[in-house]
Amino acid sequence: MAYIFQQALNALQLGSIYALIALGYTMVYGILTMINFAHGDMFMIGAFFCFMLSAWLKQSFIPALLLSMLGVACLGVIIERLAYKPLRNAPRVSAIITALGVGLFLENFTLALSPYPKNIPALVSNTAWKLGSLSLSSLQVIIIVLSVVLMMVLDFIVQHTKTGMAMRAISWDRTVVPLMGVPVNRIISMTFALGAGLGGAAGMMYGLAYPVIDYSMGIMIGWKAFISAVVGGIGNIRGAMIGGFILGSVEIMTAAFLPSTYRDFVAFTLLLALLIVRPYGILGTPHPQKV
């Protein structure tokens, strides 16, 4: 029993990282109906920013977190302005291919600059607490609490601020909203900044939990976060959070009870089964086609 609880904690940790990245996918999709495949690499860049800030500039945890979030958010806005904005009226697939290209560029640029894996120094003291037979590390608590706080902040921004209202309005109807005086370009940039910032935070937390980082760490995790977004219903913010936690628990529980090489197999088979039963994700709403 204690084993299951222990694994549930690990699942929460991995799930919160997936959920943070999935939020970036789902927000951009909600507003632009575009899959930003470069988002997994934003996550990787976040980890590298964290490495630079902590190893070279000797920053402590909070400044490193805030600065790497800010840095990745700026990068997200720059990429949106340079690469995605010219394609806003182009066919959807061109935007997707551009995103794949941007992702490849980020990966290989990092590879060219830093060919060897890097080690992030321990920013928080990793003390382990015992709760009966359960062991709980301070790092785990920080990751889970911090991501829950970040998600609550995001939920507040989207549901209760004027910017959030504008975001929801754009995803509702993008042609009418500019007529109401909403600065669409600024809101889209804001969305990219928020999504990328969350991805950067996830990258930093992942880097603290599994300290060896390299250029390719964002590929697999990015795709998996994308899958979480789809499981929850893409375009739906709360769905992305739920999807992240579901995928995290499925992966950890498979690894806990089966050989860990079956992890991907079970996770993706479950995903297929879910998509056959609910083709629009858990919280997604079906869009019936009109003739």
Partner 1 sequence: MNSILRDHSALPDRWHRLIANPFFWPAVAGAGLLFCIAASVLGFLDLYLQLILIYVGINIILTVSLNLINGYMGEFSVGHAGFMATGAYVASLLTIRIFPSGISDLFFPLAIFAGGVAAAIIGLLVAIPSFKTRGDYLAIVTLAFCMIVKSVLENIDAVGGPRGLLGMEKLTTLPWVFFWAALTVWVIRNLVFSNFGRGVLSIREDEIASDLMSVNTRQVKVIAFVVSSFFAGVAGGLYAHALQFINPKMFDIIKSTDILIMVYLGGIASIAGSIIGAIIFTILLEILRPLGVWRMVIMPLLLVLLMICRPSGIMGLRESRLFFPLRDLVTERLWRKRKKENGDAPA
Query: Rule CB under 8 A: which residues touch partner 1?
Result: 29, 35, 83, 86-87, 90-91, 93-94, 96-98, 100-105, 108-109, 111-112, 115, 219, 223, 226-227, 230, 234, 259, 261-262, 264-265, 268-269, 271-272, 275-276, 279-280, 289, 291
DSSP conformation letters of 32-97: H----TTHHHHHHHHHHHHHIIIIIS---HHHHHHHHHHHHHHHHHHHIIIIIGGGTTS-HHHHHH
Looking at beta carbons only, is 26 or 140 nearer to partner 1?
Answer: 26
| CA 17/CA 202 separation, integer angstroms | 5
Nearer Cβ to partner 1 (82/176)? 82
Q: Is 211 exposed, middle or buried (0-12, 13-18, 19+ CB in 10 A)?
A: middle
Report the C-alpha gap between 29 and 168 in whole angstroms: 12
**How far is residue 164's CA from residue 157's CA, in Å, rounded to a whole number?**
5
Coil, strand, or helix at residue 132?
coil
Please, what is the minimum distance in Å from the beta carbon of residue 230 to partner 1? Answer: 5
Nearest distance from residue 207's CB to partner 1, in Å?
22
Closer residue to partner 1 (CB): 91 or 181: 91
Pick the closer one to partner 1 by CB: 75 or 182.
75
| β-strands 118-119, 212-213 pairing | antiparallel
Q: How far apart are CB 225 and partner 1 at their closest, in Å?
A: 12
d(CA 175, CA 213): 42
Residue 286, token pair as written in the block: 């079906």
101 vs 178, beta carbon nearer partner 1: 101
Smallest distance from partner 1 to CB 208, Å: 26
| Helix extents (H) in 115-183 | 138-160, 162-172
Of 4 and 100, the one with the shorter C-beta distance to partner 1 is 100
Q: What's 223's DSSP letter? A: H
38/193 with CB nearer partner 1: 38
Per the CB < 8 A criterion, the answer to whether 27 and 234 are in contact is no
- Local structure of 137: helix, strand or coil: strand
CB atoms within 10 A of CB 62: 9
- Smallest separation, CB 86 to partner 1 (Å): 5
Shortest Cβ 92–partner 1 spacing (Å): 9
Residue 130 CB, shortest distance to partner 1, in Å, is 36
